[in-house]
Amino acid sequence: MFGYYFNLALRSFRRNRALTALMVLAIALGIGASVTTLTVFRVLSGDPIPQKSDQLYYVRMDPATMDGFTPGEDPDEQMTRFDAEALLREARGDRQALMSAGSVAVEPDAEGLAPFVLQARYTSADFFAMFDTPFRHGSGWQRGDDESRARVAVISRAMAERLFGDTDPTGRSLRMGRTDFRVVGVLDHWRPTPRFYDMSSGEFTESEDVYLPFSTSRDLRLPTQGNMNCWAEPTGEEGSTGPDAPCTWMQYWVELDTPAKAATYRAYLDNYTSQQRAAGRFERPDNNALTPVMAWLEEREVVPSDVRLQVWLAFGFLAVCLLNTVGLLLAKFMRRGGEIGVRRALGASRRSIFMQCLVEAGTVGLAGGALGMLLALLGLWAVRRQPADYAELARMDPTMLLVTFAMAIAASLLAGVLPAWRAMQVTPAIQLKSQ
Amino acid sequence: MELRPILSTLSRHKTAAALIVFEIALSCAIVCNALFLIAGRLERIDRPTGADEQHVVTVQARGLARDENANALTQTDLAALRAIPGVANATISVQMPFGNSNWNSSVRMTAEQRGETMSVSNYIADEHLIDTLGLKLVAGRNFTRDEVGDFGRMRTEGKVHFPAVILGQATADRLFPAGDALGKGLYIWGEEPSRVIGIVERLAKPNDFGSAASYEESVILPGQVPYSSGAYLVRVQDPSQRQAVLEQAQKALLAQGPTRIVDAEQARTLESMRDRYYRQDRAMAWMLVAVIVALLVVTALGIVGLASFWVQQRSRQIGIRRALGATRGQILRYFQTENFLLATIGIAIGMLLAYALNQLLMQRYELPRLPLFYLPIGAVALWLLGQIAVYGPARRAALVPPAVATRGA
């Protein structure tokens, strides 16, 4: 029966080309816009590290003085160097890393290449294992390298190719900040989206090109970058990046395999801050946070409000397109009142009329979905040309492809229900008489 | 024109009429809000920074490693920049309009105060900043040379203090609503007060950090910034010389030493930075325009489709009216009036929907309330759209010959 109805639907399309084209176009436009914005939304709200996002926790505490203290406020977004280093030293998690953004001046060995400045990440040994970074050559450095302030570096694949060409650069020397570093590893392409480990300088920017031990970066006084919040004048030769500076500017992540370990770690943090308060370093009451990746992304409201607004707009647009399709389907089915009347008079049940109309509506949806997918591809192409950090990530994937067709067919069936209902109410007698 | 026959016909096609009404209502609601969002973006894009953007370019220098002699080198750099033909003035600042860097600090009114009165954005620069950016000093005076300290050294010594401060008007208004800011002391950096010596008409923050209302809340603090912590700002005499000056400036900075990096990408005009800064707002505005156009087209096509169906369905009725003496013009007007009625109901519902939608946007995106004048704009647009869309089918109806009345439909 379905095949027969499908065949009838195609015949009916041929009879009413303009009207059918209008319906297909309306569904296609609505679906195209919705799928485009949904794809962007999905890319931006996705899990950047799905295999272990529930085992990685962002650590925060409230180390400032009582000045400007408001009870109930969130803890500071970043950590002081003192606390980050203390937690790293005590190493109570399965893995842990402190980190900060920085920049280094690179002096290439090759002839004709002028020195240039690179974005860097200063971190500690567990960073690579914790975030499952893919390696093309070599590996990360060891904990001992952190302690000995070793001159070692991991670089990105792009940087390796720029500086060393196609050869494996591990073991080779790279001059940065007037110091020779030994390249121990080359990352393969790695771009977690959002860049969850440090979102203070943009949520969707690319990962850094060079990674150095944090201890080494302080030893060499390499320039740091990113947000810094100080509540008192830093003293000491290193200023605001000094070991005791009253400034928050570091990110701290800990890996905890089980919820039980997370609970233990939470207690450990509370214990740590109580001790700091007892020692007179902290003034505020305990306000520690141990936030898993996805909760942290949500708290930071990573998805830009423009993108959320676009999703709303697209669905509003889809609603108008659907209303339009309902009207056109209604017109189309009512116009066929005579034909339906004859079929009813010949014994077709209301149910079969209803089914026939729905199949026709669904077929419109199928065609609309196909065209809508092309429009969505076009829309995503337009998004990729937009001036946003995330633009190049907006691509169709198999899931969204399925979603497109499911949405188009569901939408057209929904639009078809009312007209089909009206069509099956056609009374055979009246229609036959008016013929 | 008699409305009664139209209404009685419509009442026999309730579903189709309701669909048109709803479609118009939804379009009206979305179009009004989208127009409002576009206006918001345009207003944002047009915000002035207070700087004379057409005349300012920027260039940055970095060293290969930490430079103990940075301040001396910075002063030589500035002298070299000022010596370039076509350059009116030059300075260096820790931050600039549309830049990435944003220095903020809290302001206290007394030494004993706990907590801050407000947070302001800090332009730390020497006495040439006002002239270089082309800021308008509306009260008080500029910094004198001896008020400008060595910021790099103050920081390494851990004792930063600025004896004087120049406020942006917005900051002055918020701190001193009575308008008596000049001569007062503020606690901005360190434990010693900074005296307010001047007010500039406007100086925006580098970027939208904090609430939209605080965009102009910044201050200028007197300090010689080492080249490694800031960017050079150069004022050109004639905007057409900007590119030439930028090229010369990069050469001049490179010539100062073999250990310097001058990134060509960081050598830009302030105008191009403004352009880049608002790219996304412009893209969003264009997207909203596209949504409005697509919505109106889809709505129009829907009206055309349903109206054509109606005309076809009623062709016999039309024929009878023509046979009874109705003119073509009357038939045409009949369908136009019918559409006008439907559009009016749709627009009325649409306005309520527009406000409901705006309420939702206000809650979720902290948008302001939809001003009333957007409603007539949306209404007129949809009335016009309806009339244009219905014209084709209505004309076809008017062309139905009276003889149709005698045929059996």
Any A CB within 8 A of B65 CB: yes
CB contact (8 A) between residue B115 and residue A68:
yes
From A319, A230, A67, select the one nearest B117 (Cα to Cα): A67
Distance from CA of A221 to the nearest CA of B (A): 7
pLDDT of residue B409: 45
B320 interfacial to chain A (CB closer than 8 Å): no
Please list the helix, strand and coil fractions of chain B in percent, rounded to the nearest 5, in that order: 55, 15, 30
Q: Report the C-alpha gap between B41 and B364 in whole angstroms.
A: 17
Phi-psi region of B260 (alpha: psi -120 to 50; beta: other; left: phi over 0): beta
Q: Which of A276, A268, A283, A390 is nearest to A65 (CA)?
A: A283
Q: How far is B137 from chain A (nearest CA, A)?
A: 31
**What are the chain A neighbours of B156 within 8 Å (beta carbons)?**
237, 239
**CB distance A331–B26 less than 8 Å?**
no
Chain B nearest-CA distance from A261, in A, is 37
The four Cα atoms B279, B283, B285, B287 give a dihedral, to 10 degrees, of 180
| Contact: A334, B27; criterion CB under 8 Å | no
Q: Are A30 and A321 in contact (CB under 8 A)?
A: yes
- List, for residues A103-117, the tens digit of each pLDDT value: 999 998 877 778 899
pLDDT the model gives residue B408: 55
CB contact under 8 A, B23 and A317: no
Amino acid at B51: A
Place of tokens 């926790």: A57
By CA distance, what is B160's nearest residue in A?
A: A233
Cβ–Cβ under 8 Å, residues A393 and A43: yes
pLDDT of residue A430: 64
Of B34, B287, B301, the CB nearest to A26: B301
CA atoms of B282 and B279, how far apart (whole Å): 5
**In this complex, do B26 and A320 lie within 8 Å of one another by their Cβ atoms?**
yes
Mutate to test the interface with B, among A118, A221, A323, A434 (most CBs of B within 10 A): A323
* The pair of three-digit structure tokens given for residue B270, joined into one six-digit string: 């302030």
pLDDT in tens, chain B (409 residues): 567 878 887 777 788 888 889 999 999 999 999 999 899 999 999 999 999 999 999 999 988 877 778 899 999 999 999 999 999 999 999 999 999 888 888 899 998 887 788 989 999 999 999 999 999 999 999 999 999 999 988 887 778 899 999 999 999 999 999 999 999 999 998 889 999 999 999 999 998 888 888 999 999 999 999 998 899 999 999 999 999 999 999 999 999 877 788 988 889 999 999 999 998 889 889 989 988 998 999 899 888 888 888 888 788 888 888 888 888 898 899 889 989 999 999 999 999 999 998 888 888 777 788 888 888 888 898 999 999 999 999 998 888 888 877 765 4
What is the pLDDT at residue A385? Answer: 85
- Rounded to two decimals, the pTM is 0.84
A95–chain B nearest CA distance, Å: 32
- ipTM for the predicted complex comes to 0.81
Amino acid identity of residue B135, one-letter, is L
pLDDT in the model for residue B256: 84
Residues of chain A short of pLDDT 50, as ranges, are 435
Of B190, B101, B100, B222, the C-alpha closest to A231 is B190
Contact A115 B302 (CB under 8 A): no
CB proximity B243 to A under 8 Å: no
**Cβ contacts of B114 on chain A, cutoff 8 Å:** 66-68
The string of pLDDT tens digits covering residues B248-273 is 999 999 998 777 889 888 899 999 99
Residue B244: CB atoms within 10 Å: 14
Structure tokens at B38: 């576009």
CB contact under 8 A, B294 and A22: no
Alpha-carbon torsion, ordered A231, A232, A235, A237, to 10 deg: 30
Which of B298, B308, B367 to mutate against chain A (most A CBs within 10 Å)? Answer: B298
8 A C-beta contact, residue B75 and residue B251? no
Residue A324 has its nearest CB partner, among B276, B302, B409, at B302
pLDDT value of position A114: 83
Cβ of residue B145 closer than 8 Å to a chain A Cβ = no
Q: Which residues of B touch A116 (CB under 8 A)?
A: 261, 263
- How many angstroms separate the CA atoms of B248 and B241, rounded? 11
Which residues of chain B make contact with A308, given a CB cutoff of 8 A? 364-365
Interface A:B, Cβ pairs < 8 A? 143
H helix or E strand, kind and range, residue B76: helix B70-82
Q: Do B64 and A178 touch (CB under 8 A)?
A: yes
Contact, B103 vs B122, CB < 8 A?
yes
On whether the CB atoms of residues B189 and B160 are closer than 8 A, the answer is yes
Say whether B232 sits in a helix, a strand or coil: strand
